[in-house]
Homo-oligomer: A and B are copies of this chain.
Amino acid sequence: MNISSEIRNLISNRRKGYTLEAPFYLSPEINTLDIEVIFGRHWIFVAVEPEIAEPGDYIKVDVGHNSVIIVRDDDMNVKAFHNVCRHRGSQLCDDAKGSVGNLVCPYHQWTYDLSGKLIYNEHMGVDFDKNDHNLKPVHVGNIAGLVFICLADEPPADFDNMRKAMEPYIAPHRLADCKVAIQEDIIENGNWKLTMENNRECYHCIANHPELLNSMYEFGFGYQPSPENAEKVQEFRDLVVSEGNRWAACGLLSAEIDLLDGCATAYRTQRLPLEKAGESQTMDSKVACQKLLGDLTLRNLGGLSFWTQPNSWHHFMSDHIVTFSVLPIDAEHTLLRTTWLVHKDAVEGMDYETKKITEVWKATNKQDSTLVERTHRGVKSDQYEPGPYSPYTEELVEKFTNWYIQRLEAEIDNIKSSVTPIKICR
């Protein structure tokens, strides 16, 4: 696509410390750019390994107008392919998930094996070369069971840095030995960047998320210092240190890493204490699953959080894991996919109740969805103008926005002139 001078100006004139100009949230043209650059050339989180536990298990993930099949092959590797037959372009998989021997196009039965190789088709004549018509592959990255894909030909190499840093944090929770307790898809009526900005601050929590605040410390996600809160802040800081020491003794990492901007594969992590019982993000902050993850024996391990640009966040506790994947549908609609995982041997009704595991984040997701939609509507006004981020509570929002603008700047002169430059409806 050709990037218009208007978009170039919007990118280069972005005012630091402020929300983006309206077209970044509303323009279908910029959304196409987001799909091509942000979601097309970076590592995006799309699944957890337990979703495709057995050979032939697949899931279908739609990233804007692009559809990807993620499948476990017979050697237990995770592979990904574009969900497009090389014959007439039909999608191969309709369903969100399933299990197959080969990938057979339902239109004319062109048959691909789980490595994407075209192994069978009829009527194409003796000169037809199957090797020219294999499925188009998609890069797969795996961090302790979190499955990322990259649609670019050459993915950012710094994924490996993130993997190496994060694996020791996540490993004790043994994601690959979990099962999906439940998965929820919400379609939010707003731009995906509003979903992300909303996730990156807790300034809005106090008035909007009563369930989440049951287990979340007020001072964990930013505040303006004042004489009134100085004592409580110090108490919280001391707690972070003492709990961190206790967890370290169990072999658990908790130190903050913040690389949310400045690199292509950007992220942040930290293990923080939880309120009250301190065990889990539940209504009473106690574990919701009696069978703990991996070899963990202590319940009060707080919450290990992991945030990635551009599209995910994750919370690992002693008893369960929650992961969130954000995928643009179009400029004005976003899929938020939430997945709750428990130990694969945990038995529903005995070890855990799905309701107790999910109620905090189901409520929180719903509240956030309303906030995103309301902001999207507001941004449409001709009188909307970028507003200031709080220097205390919205630093991570600013980092998300910075990263977003940085990545557009880094890639914009590098956009391939598409064979289909005319506007197409999505």
Q: Which of B90, B123, B133, B388 contacts A124 (CB 8 A)?
A: B388
Q: Is A22 an interface residue (CB 8 A)?
A: yes
Q: Which of A176-184, A308-316, A402-410, A416-424 contacts B (4 or more CB under 8 A)?
A: A416-424
**Do most interface residues of chain A lie in helix, strand or loop, or is the interface mixed?**
loop
Whether B392 lies near A125 (C-beta < 8 A) is yes
Q: Could you say which residues of chain B place their CB within 8 Å of the CB of A423?
A: 27-29
A19-78, CB < 8 A from B: 19, 21-23, 26-30, 35-36, 40, 65-67
Given contacts A197-B88, A388-B87, A392-B123, contact A29 B422 (CB under 8 A): yes
Q: Is A85 an interface residue (CB 8 A)?
A: yes
Q: Mark A375-409, 1 if CB is under 8 A from B, else 0.
A: 10111111111011011111000000000000000
CB distance from A167 to the nearest CB of B (A): 31
Chain B minimum-CB-distance residue to A31: B425
Among A27, A88, A203, A371, the one with the most B-chain Cβ atoms within 10 Å of its Cβ is: A88
CB distance from A42 to the nearest CB of B (A): 15
Among A85, A136, A384, the one with the most B-chain Cβ atoms within 10 Å of its Cβ is: A384
A83 to B374, CA, bound (A): 11
Whether B26 lies near A425 (C-beta < 8 A) is yes
Given contacts A21-B420, A125-B392, A424-B23, contact A377 B86 (CB under 8 A): no
Q: Is A223 an interface residue (CB 8 A)?
A: yes
Among A87, A203, A424, the one with the most B-chain Cβ atoms within 10 Å of its Cβ is: A424
Q: Which of A102-110, A230-238, A284-292 contacts B (4 or more CB under 8 A)?
A: A102-110
Whether B424 lies near A26 (C-beta < 8 A) is yes
Q: Is A94 an interface residue (CB 8 A)?
A: yes
Whether A390 lies near B123 (C-beta < 8 A) is yes
Chain B minimum-CB-distance residue to A19: B88
Interface size for A (C-beta < 8 A) is: 80
Q: Which of B23, B107, B383 contacts A371 (CB 8 A)?
A: B107
A32 to B388, CA, bound (A): 28
Given contacts A88-B375, A375-B88, contact A107 B391 (CB under 8 A): no
Whether A380 lies near B426 (C-beta < 8 A) is yes
Whether A377 lies near B124 (C-beta < 8 A) is no
Among A40, A381, A388, the one with the most B-chain Cβ atoms within 10 Å of its Cβ is: A381
Q: Is A212 an interface residue (CB 8 A)?
A: no
Q: Which of B26, B107, B385, B387 contacts A375 (CB 8 A)?
A: B107
Contacts A35-B382, A36-B382, A88-B197 known; 11 new A-B pairs at CB < 8 A: A26-B426, A27-B423, A27-B424, A28-B424, A40-B382, A82-B383, A86-B385, A89-B378, A89-B384, A91-B378, A108-B204
A interface with B by C-beta (< 8 Å): 4, 6-7, 10, 19, 21-23, 26-30, 35-36, 40, 65-67, 82-91, 94, 106-109, 122-125, 128, 133, 136, 197, 203-204, 206-208, 222-224, 331-332, 371, 374-375, 377-385, 387-388, 390-394, 418-426
